[in-house]
Amino acid sequence: MSVNENTGAIHVAAVDLGASGGRVIVGTYREGQPLALDVIYRFDNGPADAPGPLRWDIDRLVREVRRGLDLAAERYELTSVGIDTWGVDYGMLDAEGELLEAPVHYRDARTQGMADELAQQGGLYDLFAATGTQMMDINTAFQLKAALRDDPELEGRVDSILLMPGLIAYLLGADRGCEPSEASTTQLVDAASGTWSDAVCDQFGIPVRWLPKIASEGAHAGSVELSDGAHVPFVRVCGHDTASAVASISLAGTDAFVSCGTWSLVGVQPASPVLGADACDLGVSNERGAEGSVLLLQNCTGLWIAQELRRELNAAGADLSWDAIVDLAEAAPAEGALIDTESPEFGVPGSMSERIRAFAEAHGEQPPAGAGELFRCVYESLAARYHLAIEELARATDRRIERVRIIGGGSQNRVICQLVADTCGIEVIAGPVEATAIGNIFVQLKAAGVGESLAEVQGRVELAEQMHVYTPAAAPSRERLAWYRSAICHKEAAC
């Protein structure tokens, strides 16, 4: 354990990168005191503004991460650094270890329709039985297949690939590799063994030699280099941000969770992967969490719609803060129009207000008028979608869900939290807000010797943040939920 001799503290830096922004947060642990979080640096993230495929501005991203770590090292004697990001995206390295090109963004259109094509060919259930991964066009397997389709010469030019957490760490000086949670988002991992699947790689035409070595979270993997040439040990945390967020809380068997950010990951924690045809039909995904755990998830569009709507309205001169948006949505009439947040038109940048109103009109609803009604529509629709996902996860695992844990940035939104409690008819516990960074920090603290297990770390490290509890107040009508399920989402009742 590396403890500052003067303060008796352990300082670890969590680099938490999302699709719309990143931050570097230092967690300070002192025995007997709440975990102190210091947000050192925040920066925007998004695709590069350049012709051709939609790509990440990887040079800027690495530069911003290093800047944040430089600032952290100026203030603290760091024990280690851990990096988590979104899943599925990757970078390709040549034989000299150089990045061949900027990573393609998962929202690029090159994979559009590939999952449906596979389903039409009849390979859906076998692939799900092997990997347990939800069929989504954005999955790494489809991305790599599309890359090889568009440029067959890649097979000879690429030496290896690295998923985003490992890629950024490598570009900062750490060793090559990945850990189970980020690997499990690729659709190339065998669900039973947790190792790369030769059979699935062969099915997609992907050279298995490209894929990095998988090491358990908590493993040391070299160091990252700061701008002044100093090095800080690098620890592989749960590289997929959802797994990192879930590592911040202890889940009971009757709990569901919603990791609520740009994406919303609705999930439960079963004892083993759920791989049957029924689970495949429900669109669930088995991903790996900390210490070999399984996270059974539905990947849902999340606050992306609200973020795009805010961007659009502010560009038109509205100047809306998130606090103001919550107030407007809370004051707007309840049970207005609902949208299917998973409908394709809501998954790409553009005018969300026009799309929301057009969707409402197409389904015989009164279109939302002002900003308050628009955001209320988005929030009520998200709550209804979470309810539907929780129903389906309960059916897939044959369990009764008695509580929902909302973690991440969306846990600050009192309107969403109350709507989820009302719509699901069960208690909601909201927080921690910085769940992803805290889970990242917890894995590093375990690696530093604070506890022998994640549960021991969770029990020993007190959080300063107060969790908020929401209880059902005004449940929506059963008829409205049934209409939403059948007319909007075209789903049958789960139970």
Is pLDDT of 285 > 50?
yes
**26 and 91 housed in the same domain:** yes
Domain edge (last residue) among 235, 265, 292: 235
Query: What number is the average pLDDT over the span 413-424?
Result: 97
Going by pLDDT thresholds of 50, 70 and 90, the confidence category of residue 348 is confident
Query: What number is the average pLDDT over the span 475-479?
Result: 82
Going by pLDDT thresholds of 50, 70 and 90, the confidence category of residue 30 is very high
Catalytic residue among 241, 255, 340, 422: 241
What range does the domain containing 343 cover?
Answer: 249-431+465-495
Is pLDDT of 190 > 90?
yes
Q: What is the mean pLDDT of the chain?
A: 94
Is pLDDT of 56 > 50?
yes
CA atoms of 288 and 33, how far apart (whole Å)? 31
Is pLDDT of 491 > 90?
no
Q: Is position 400 within any domain?
A: yes
Q: Is position 455 within any domain?
A: no
**44 and 77 housed in the same domain:** yes
**186 and 216 housed in the same domain:** yes
Going by pLDDT thresholds of 50, 70 and 90, the confidence category of residue 493 is low
Percent of the chain with pLDDT over 70: 98
Number of domains the chain contains: 2
pLDDT at residue 65, as a whole number: 98
Q: Is position 64 within any domain?
A: yes
Q: Is position 241 within any domain?
A: no
Is pLDDT of 300 > 80?
yes
Domain edge (last residue) among 185, 200, 235: 235
Query: What number is the average pLDDT over the span 195-219?
Result: 96
pLDDT at residue 478, as a whole number: 84
**216 and 364 housed in the same domain:** no
Percent of the chain with pLDDT over 90: 85
Domain edge (last residue) among 175, 200, 235: 235
- Respond yes or no: is residue 241 known to be catalytic: yes
**63 and 180 housed in the same domain:** yes
**145 and 269 housed in the same domain:** no
**35 and 104 housed in the same domain:** yes
Q: Is position 448 within any domain?
A: no
pLDDT tens string 363-410:
999 999 999 999 999 999 999 999 999 999 999 999 999 999 999 999
pLDDT tens string 105-140:
998 999 999 998 888 888 889 999 999 998 889 999
**164 and 229 housed in the same domain:** yes
- Residue 427 has φ and ψ, to the nearest 5°, of -70, 145
**147 and 189 housed in the same domain:** yes
CB burial of 18-50 (b: ≥16 within 10 Å; e: otherwise) equals bbbbbbbbbbbbeeeeebebeebbebebebeee
- Residue 438 has φ and ψ, to the nearest 5°, of -65, -45
Q: Is position 141 within any domain?
A: yes
Is pLDDT of 5 > 70?
no
Going by pLDDT thresholds of 50, 70 and 90, the confidence category of residue 495 is very low
**355 and 265 housed in the same domain:** yes
CB atoms under 10 Å from CB of 195, counted, come to: 12
**205 and 61 housed in the same domain:** yes
Terminal-residue alpha carbon distance, the chain: 50
Q: Is position 219 within any domain?
A: yes
Q: Is position 457 within any domain?
A: no
pLDDT at residue 492, as a whole number: 66
pTM for the model: 0.91
Is pLDDT of 96 > 60?
yes
Going by pLDDT thresholds of 50, 70 and 90, the confidence category of residue 299 is confident
**219 and 319 housed in the same domain:** no
Could you tell me the CATH number of the domain that includes residue 392? Answer: 3.30.420.40
